[in-house]
Each structure stands twice: as C-alpha cells, then as structure tokens.
Amino acid sequence: MSNLELAKKINKENPELYSDKDTLKSIDNIRGVIRYYKGQNGDKNRAQTGHLKKDYYDHKDRCNEIARNKILGRNDKYTPAKILIFDIETSPMMAYVWRLWKQNVSYKNQLISDSWMMLTWSAKWLFEDKVMADKITPDEIKREDDKRVISSLCALIEEADIIVGHNSRKFDIRQINARRLKHDLPPMLPFEHIDTYRASKTAFDLPSHSLDYLAKYLGVGRKMETGGFELWRDCMEGKQEAIDKMEAYNIQDVKIQEEVYLKLRPYIKGHPNIGFYVEDNVHVCPKCGSDDIHWEGTYRTYMNEYDTFRCNDCGSIGRSRLSSLTTEQRRFLTKGL
C-alpha cells in the first residue's frame, strides 16, 4: 500500500500510540516515520528532521516497534501479495476387481462410478490465523454433486495472487480442473503457483518429499492420523462424523503446509517475484517482499556481473537486475566459441 494508506492504517489500529489531537497531524507524523524507515528522506534529512530524531522515540518504544514492524515486515507476519495456502481431499472411484494388486480396470463394464468428488477443502491466507474450509454434505454425496464445494474453493483461488500447495501441480489443480470440466464451469483466472513438493524434490536429496515427512524433518508438526481408508469409506457412505473428521484432517494439512512453505521459501527456484506487489520504489527481497536486505558478494554470468544480497527476514539470496560493470568494462569482455 502507499505511505499514506499505511499511515492511516497504523493510526487507526494504534490510536493510543500517537497523542496528537489533530488526526491529520498524527497521520503526517507517521508518514514521516514510514519514509524514514524506507530510506526515502536521505541521510541529511534523517539527521536534521526534528520529529524523526532518535530521542523522539525514546519515550515511545512500543510505537517505534509497531511502526517499524508494520513497515518492514520484521515480525514475520507481512506479505504484500495475497498468498493462499490450500489443500483438498477427494473421494475414491469404485470398481469391480479380480485381484488386490496390478489390476487393469475397464471403464466399460468394471467401473461402478468414476464420479470421484471433492470431499473437503481448506485454505488460509499466508500469516493469517483464520483457516477457511468447506465440505460436501451427505445429500450431495448421494447425488455425486460437488459443484458447490468446487465453486467455493475456486472463488477463493481467483482472489489470490499466488497459490501454494503440496503436489498441487500434479494433483490438486488437475483434479479441480477435471471437476470444473464435469460441471461445465469455465477455466479459472490465471494465478502464480508454488508447489512445495516439486520445490523440495528440486532442491534437496531427502528420503521422502511427502508433506508429513517434510513437516517432521523441519520440526513444524505432523499430519493428523485418519485411521486409514475407513475414513474415506465412511465419507462415501454419507456419515457426517466422518466428513467432519476429514475436514479437520484437511485443516491440519494446511496449517503445516504453511510452515513447510516458509521453511522452503529461501530455496525455491523460480519463486514468483513479490516485488511486483510492492508499490514503493525500493529494493525488496523477491521472495518475501522485505526491504531489509544486505548487499554482499557478486554473481557472474558468462558475460556479465551483478551485485548480490541476502534478505535479513527470510534468508533468501538475490541479485540486482542491473549490471555492476560499466559499459567500458563489458566492452572488453570476450566470448568463446
């Protein structure tokens, strides 16, 4: 948001921290604080502007901390993009089979029902406490109709700038698209997509890349026990208690999914550039949006050189977009054949 919008938000949420009776004056002072921490006043103004001197905050420590955290996101509760963490649970198909292993099931005469359905979904916006969820009803299961549940999830996805799932490129999104096709719904609006399963397999040599294993390995929780296939069977029989338990299982997945994503984030190659969602003209970390970055080191391509930085918030490594070499220096570089 703009400096003015952010100043109004801080003043509204923390009226006790600014004692000026004139609201406009309070907001103006907060804007000065914002510009100070974003480095938009310049070194000279920082030293000379009276209401921005350090002693101004000596008696307002809490004011200082809240303002700084909201501006820079240093409380790990900030993202300029709308990032949606989500997960779905689906029902199995039913078929007649001859054996328990390596079966080829004919869709012509062995398949009882191919109308697998979305049983539940859960989702949360990154850093927000509230977990949203929806679930199919026993009556909808009997009618094999998950259109309402599909539609409620897709409406949420279309609000997001970025979605985050686990094995979601291969499973979740393709399942959602298949059900939208079944219900004669149009394709969803475009979004950027992070699949933590794919990110983990790309970056790490681990014994497993399942969500449960990653959560255990990273020390951020575990998946909820379901009791096995019986839960899915009871859901298909329309038992409300089972559907409720499936929803709780789904919600727990989303909670640990968020923690796993935040742990993996510095290592994710091709992470969407959060800088697109930052309105102010400042250098920010492309993975988390923080401007608390430390420039150090050099990155070289075959014919160019760039300054690199580390984000002090999320730990990611990045580089400048512009070359650190002068035109004259680049002119004397040669290229092999």
Count of other CB atoms within 10 angstroms of residue 117: 24
pLDDT band at 20 (very low <50, low <70, confident <90, very high): low
The domain boundary, picked from 212, 238, 266, lies at 266
Residue at 147 is within a domain:
yes
Shared-domain flag, residues 116 and 230: yes
Q: Is 145 exposed, middle or buried (0-12, 13-18, 19+ CB in 10 A)?
A: middle
**What is the Cα–Cα distance from 190 to 314, expressed in whole angstroms?**
27
Shared-domain flag, residues 33 and 131: no
**What is the Cα–Cα distance from 52 to 58, expressed in whole angstroms?**
11
**What is the Cα–Cα distance from 156 to 83, expressed in whole angstroms?**
11
Shared-domain flag, residues 233 and 109: yes
Residue at 337 is within a domain:
no
Across 214-242, b (16+ Cβ under 10 Å) vs e yields bbebeebbebbeeeeeebbebbbeeeeeb
Print the domain residue range for 62: 3-72
For residue 186, the model assigns a pLDDT of: 96
How many residues are present in the chain? 337
Shared-domain flag, residues 17 and 91: no
Residue at 77 is within a domain:
no
pLDDT of 39 higher than 70: no
Closest CA to 266 of 276, 277, 256, 274: 274
The answer to whether 193 and 271 are in contact (CB under 8 A) is no
Shared-domain flag, residues 148 and 213: yes
The domain boundary, picked from 224, 239, 266, lies at 266
Shared-domain flag, residues 235 and 294: no
Mean pLDDT value across residues 112-116: 79
For residue 28, the model assigns a pLDDT of: 73
Residue at 336 is within a domain:
no
Residue at 78 is within a domain:
no
Count the domains in the chain: 3
**What is the Cα–Cα distance from 58 to 4, expressed in whole angstroms?**
24
pLDDT of 81 higher than 90: yes
For residue 42, the model assigns a pLDDT of: 45
How many percent of the chain have pLDDT more than 70?
84
CATH classification at residue 170: 3.30.420.10
Shared-domain flag, residues 68 and 187: no
For residue 24, the model assigns a pLDDT of: 64
The residue whose two tokens read 């680049």 is: 330
The answer to whether 254 and 123 are in contact (CB under 8 A) is yes
Cα Rg of the chain, angstroms: 26
pTM of this structure: 0.76
Shared-domain flag, residues 297 and 240: no
pLDDT band at 25 (very low <50, low <70, confident <90, very high): low
Residue at 184 is within a domain:
yes
pLDDT of 74 higher than 50: no
pLDDT of 173 higher than 90: yes
The domain boundary, picked from 266, 299, 320, lies at 266
Residue at 196 is within a domain:
yes
Shared-domain flag, residues 253 and 317: no
Tokens at 235, concatenated: 């859901």
Shared-domain flag, residues 281 and 302: yes
pLDDT of 4 higher than 80: no
Closest CA to 152 of 167, 136, 140, 166: 136
Residue at 300 is within a domain:
yes
Mean pLDDT value across residues 225-243: 95
Closest CA to 224 of 259, 262, 255, 258: 255
Shared-domain flag, residues 245 and 309: no
Q: Tell me the pLDDT of the chain averaged across its residues.
A: 86
pLDDT band at 113 (very low <50, low <70, confident <90, very high): confident
For residue 259, the model assigns a pLDDT of: 96
Shared-domain flag, residues 188 and 320: no
